[in-house]
C-alpha cells in the first residue's frame, strides 16, 4: 500500500466512530416474557449470541465462556416495537425548519420517502430508547394530498445507519381528514384513491407509452404506487368510521393484491368480523373512549379487546407528537386492567405485551425476527426493574442487535443537573 493510501486509511479510521460489536450474554433467574402472547416465565433465562437470540425460557443452559448476569428480581422482554411514529422527523414540532413530518407545498405525494430525512441524532430517538423502544415504523404526515408518502422501518441504536427498510409502506388518509384533503367529501377521496391506483396500473402495464393528458399524478407518484398494486408494499389506510372501514375492505374487489393495514379504526369493533374475514391487520390507539369527531361516535376502550376476540390482528401504535412511544407499556397495561371492569373487553398480560412487540413487528413484515425472544430473532432485549406494564417500572438495560445501548439523553442529563443544585448563589426570589 502506498504512503498516501496509508494516510487516507488512518484518517478514515479516526473520522469514523468505533462501532460496538454484538455481545454474547445470558440473563438468568429473571421473569422472562417472550412477547409471543404467552404468560411470563419465572426463573427464566435469555441467551444471546452474535446479535441473535439463541434461546429464551426455563431450563436454558448457558455455554461456558458466555457472560452471565443474574436477573433476580428483574423482568426481561423483547424490545418494544413502536408502530406508526414520527421518530427522527422533527426536533421541535412547532419550528418548521426542524420538522420534516409533512410536505404541504411539494408537487409530489406518494413518491415522498421519509428515509433520507430521519435524523439518528434526534433526542426523541434517545428518549424512546431509554423507554425500552428498540424498533419503529416511521410514517409521513399528509400534506395537501390523501397520499402522505412512504414510511420506513428503523432501529433505535446509536449508529448512524438506523434505517433497516426504506419504502416499507405507503400511507393514505381517508375518512374525515381524507375528505378534507380531497376537496371536502369522502366521495372525492375515494375517487382520488381509485384514480391514483388506476394510473399506477396503467403506467406499470405500459411504462413506455405516452401518459394521458388528463393524468392527475406525477410520473414519480404513479411509479411509487406500483408496488402497492401488486402487494409488495403494504398500503396503510387511515380510517376510523365503521362505514369507511367497509369501503376500504371493498377496495380489494377491484385491486385484489392490495396488502391493506387499517390505521386508527376507532369503530373497528363494530365491523370486527368483517376485518377478520378479510385478514386485514389493525394499528390503533387503545385508550380512545370519547367521540372527538363524528367518525368516532362509537369510540370505546374495549375496541382492541373486541377486535382481538373476533380474530383481528391488532397492534398498539400511532405514537406521534405528545403520544410518545415510551408510553406504550402504560397503554398496554390499561388493556390488562380493563378486564376487571364488568362488560369491558381487554387483553391478557401476554396479549398486551405482544401488542407492543411481536404483533406490530409482524404487521410491518418482520414477524419472527423482531419483537420476540425466540431462536433466530434479533438480539433486542430489555431488562426492567419490575413488571414492564406497571407505571412504576422502567428499563435498566437495553440491547439492540446484542449491543448494549446507552440510556442517557437530554432529559436524563437535565434531571441529574438539577437534582442536587447548589442553592448558595440562588437569586433572592428563590430564598425561601
262 contacts 282 by C-beta, under 8 angstroms: yes
Joined together, the cell numbers standing for residue 229 give: 398494486
Q: Which residue has the cell 434505517?
A: 163
What's the confidence (pLDDT) of residue 121?
94
In angstroms, the CA 213 to CA 177 distance is 29
| Least confident interval from 25-39, 54-68, 91-105, 142-156 | 91-105
Hey, where are the domains in the chain? 79-370
96 is written with which cell numbers? 418548521
Q: What tens digit of pLDDT does each residue of 275-308 get?
A: 999 999 999 999 998 898 999 999 999 999 999 9
Strands (E) in 177-259, as ranges, are 235-239
Give yes or no for residue 418 having a pLDDT over 90.
no
Q: Which CA distances in Å does 216 have to 7, 108, 109, 185?
A: 54, 11, 12, 18
pLDDT band at residue 14 under the 50/70/90 scheme:
very low
State the Cα–Cα distance between residues 266 and 240, nearest whole angstrom: 5
Residue whose cell numbers read 363494530 = 270
Alpha carbon 389 to its chain's center: 18
How far apart (Å, rounded) are the C-alpha atoms in residues 53 and 76?
Answer: 13
The mean per-residue pLDDT over the stretch 376-402 comes to 98
| Positive or negative torsion for Cα 225, 228, 234, 238 | positive
Minimal CA–CA distance to 173: which of 200, 131, 197, 140? 140
Name the more confident of 414 and 301. 301
**Rounded to whole angstroms, how far apart are CA atoms 241 and 415?**
43
E strands present in 320-427: 381-384, 395-400, 403-404
154, 224, 364 from 116: Cα distances, Å: 12, 16, 19
pTM exceeds 0.85 for this model: yes
**Beta carbons of 66 and 76 less than 8 angstroms apart:** no
Q: What is the spatial distance between Cα 103 and Cα 80, in angstroms, rounded to a whole number? A: 29
Residue 397 CA, chain-centre distance (Å), reads 20
% of the chain residues with pLDDT over 70? 93
Is 67 in contact with 307 (CB distance < 8 Å)? Answer: no
With 70 as the cut, is the pLDDT of residue 19 above it? no
CATH 3.20.20.140 fits 79-370, yes or no: yes
pLDDT at residue 12 greater than cutoff 50:
no
Instruction: Name residue, grid cell 448512524.
Output: 160
pLDDT value at position 34? Answer: 98
Share of the chain above pLDDT 90, in %: 81
Confidence of residue 96 (pLDDT cuts 50, 70, 90): confident
Q: What is the pLDDT of residues 126-170, one digit of tens each?
A: 999 999 999 999 999 999 999 999 999 999 999 899 999 999 999
Amino acid at each position: 500500500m502506498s504512503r498516501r493510501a496509508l494516510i487516507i486509511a488512518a484518517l478514515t479510521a479516526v473520522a469514523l466512530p468505533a462501532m460496538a460489536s454484538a455481545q454474547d450474554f445470558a440473563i438468568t433467574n429473571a421473569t422472562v416474557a417472550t412477547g409471543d402472547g404467552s404468560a411470563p416465565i419465572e426463573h427464566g433465562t435469555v441467551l444471546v449470541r452474535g446479535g441473535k437470540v439463541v434461546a429464551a425460557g426455563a431450563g436454558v443452559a448457558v455455554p461456558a465462556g458466555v457472560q452471565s448476569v443474574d436477573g433476580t428480581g428483574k423482568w426481561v422482554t423483547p424490545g418494544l416495537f413502536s408502530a406508526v411514529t414520527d421518530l427522527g422527523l422533527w426536533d421541535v414540532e412547532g419550528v418548521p425548519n426542524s420538522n420534516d413530518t409533512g410536505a404541504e407545498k411539494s408537487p409530489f405525494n406518494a413518491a415522498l420517502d421519509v428515509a433520507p430525512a430521519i435524523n439518528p441524532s434526534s433526542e426523541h430517538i434517545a428518549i424512546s430508547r431509554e423507554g425500552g423502544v428498540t424498533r419503529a415504523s416511521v410514517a409521513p404526515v399528509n400534506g395537501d394530498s390523501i397520499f402522505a408518502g412512504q414510511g420506513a422501518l428503523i432501529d433505535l441504536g446509536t449508529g448512524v445507519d438506523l434505517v433497516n427498510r426504506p419504502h416499507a409502506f405507503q400511507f393514505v388518509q381517508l375518512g374525515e381528514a381524507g375528505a378534507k384533503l380531497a376537496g371536502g367529501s369522502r366521495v372525492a377521496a375515494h375517487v382520488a384513491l381509485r384514480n391514483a391506483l388506476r394510473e399506477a396500473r396503467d403506467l406499470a402495464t405500459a411504462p413506455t407509452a405516452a401518459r394521458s393528458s388528463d393524468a392527475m399524478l406525477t410520473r414519480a407518484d404513479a411509479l411509487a404506487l406500483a408496488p402497492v398494486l401488486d402487494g409488495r408494499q403494504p398500503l396503510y389506510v387511515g380510517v376510523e368510521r365503521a362505514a369507511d372501514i367497509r369501503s376500504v375492505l371493498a377496495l380489494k374487489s377491484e385491486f385484489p393484491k392490495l396488502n391493506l393495514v387499517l390505521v386508527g379504526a376507532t369503530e373497528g369493533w363494530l365491523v370486527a368480523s368483517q376485518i377478520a374475514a378479510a385478514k386485514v391487520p389493525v394499528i390503533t390507539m387503545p385508550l380512545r373512549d370519547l367521540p372527538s369527531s363524528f367518525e368516532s361516535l362509537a369510540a370505546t376502550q374495549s375496541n382492541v379487546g373486541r377486535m382481538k376476540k373476533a380474530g383481528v390482528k391488532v397492534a398498539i401504535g400511532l405514537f406521534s407528537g405528545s403520544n410518545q412511544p415510551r408510553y406504550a407499556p402504560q397503554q398496554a397495561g390499561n388493556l390488562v386492567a380493563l378486564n376487571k371492569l364488568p362488560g369491558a373487553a381487554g387483553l391478557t398480560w401476554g396479549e398486551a405485551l405482544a401488542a407492543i412487540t411481536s404483533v406490530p413487528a409482524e404487521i410491518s413484515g418482520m414477524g419472527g425476527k423482531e419483537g420476540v425472544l425466540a431462536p433466530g430473532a434479533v438480539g433486542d432485549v430489555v431488562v426492567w426493574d419490575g413488571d414492564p406494564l406497571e407505571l412504576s417500572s422502567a428499563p435498566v438495560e437495553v440491547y439492540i442487535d446484542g449491543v448494549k445501548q446507552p440510556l442517557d439523553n437530554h432529559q436524563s442529563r437535565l434531571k441529574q443537573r438539577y437534582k442536587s443544585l447548589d442553592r448558595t448563589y440562588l437569586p433572592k426570589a428563590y430564598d425561601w
